[in-house]
Copies of this chain bind each other. A is one copy, B any other.
Amino acid sequence: MSTNILKGKRGIIFGALNEQSIAWKVAERAHEEGATFVLTNAPIAMRMGEINKLAETTGSQIIPADATSVEDLENLISQSMEILGGKIDFILHSIGMSINVRKGRHYTDQKYDFTHKGLDVSALSFHKVMQTAMKQDAMSEWGSIVALTYIAAQRTFPDYNDMADNKSYLESIARSFGYHYGIAKKVRVNTISQSPTMTTAGSGVKGFNEFINYSDQMSPLGNADAKACADYCISMFSDLTRYVTMQNLFHDGGFSNTGVTQAVIEKFSD
């Protein structure tokens, strides 16, 4: 159901690991909609992933980059402009990882080196991408930059741990940088706050099934899946949404504004 809504647009997509990844679906949809783009991921993630397959089906090149390394990002962005033949119209940031979570540290028992490292990967990388792009004057006017986030930035989900604080920081970067990029270059910056999604990252987390189930029953439309999230990203990259900036946009089937559903409340009768 392509409408070529991104025809002629050039992008950079961070974070496609495998078919479950939201970034993977974004790449597929962006390709369908007429965009060209570069795929990128951390070298280590790429070894585990199947990104070459995606590159083939979408006719994309892959440039490995550690998103916490300004040097890597400089290379990524300058090469991307060369490969794509001009300035960048859209960027997707879909990166996140908490070492405290991986190492099984409770939120109230953090190792602060882990905390800093997780922030760097999950949030500060977003700033680094934009700062690097701005210094290279790499974005087109009215370009659109999107990072994926989760409602844990607003409300506490106990197992989300320090990723909640990272996502708050990430969303704040979107506002702060969106202000400066908007005034300087009419570039817009937003975050999309997505339903919990069964990706490789999620599927390893203890209790994730229960959590997905809960979220689904708390959402009037049910959880949004990765494909639907990709569609929403496409709309945010398109020219239909030029004056939306510095926003956190919930894409969650109504979860965020639902206090409780009938399906959930029924579990609380005696």
Q: What residues make up the interface of A, taking CB atoms closer than 8 Å to B?
A: 1, 3-5, 70, 107-110, 112, 115-116, 119-120, 124, 127-128, 130-131, 134-135, 151-158, 160-162, 164-165, 167-169, 171-173, 175-184, 186, 188, 195, 207, 209-211, 213-214, 217, 220-221, 224, 228-229, 231-232, 234-235, 238-247, 249-254, 256-262, 264-270
**8 Å CB contact of A183 from B220, B238, B257:** B220
Q: With A220-B182, A250-B244 in contact, is A175–B257 under 8 Å at CB?
A: yes
30 contacts between A and B (CB under 8 A): A108-B180, A108-B181, A109-B131, A110-B131, A112-B120, A112-B128, A119-B169, A151-B259, A155-B175, A155-B256, A156-B176, A156-B258, A157-B259, A158-B179, A158-B260, A160-B259, A161-B176, A165-B173, A175-B257, A179-B220, A183-B261, A209-B270, A211-B265, A228-B242, A229-B243, A235-B241, A243-B251, A246-B254, A246-B256, A267-B267
Q: Is the interface of A mostly helix, strand, loop or mixed?
A: helix
Q: With A5-B3, A214-B264, A221-B186 in contact, is A156–B168 under 8 Å at CB?
A: no
A108 to B15 Cα, complex, angstroms? 23
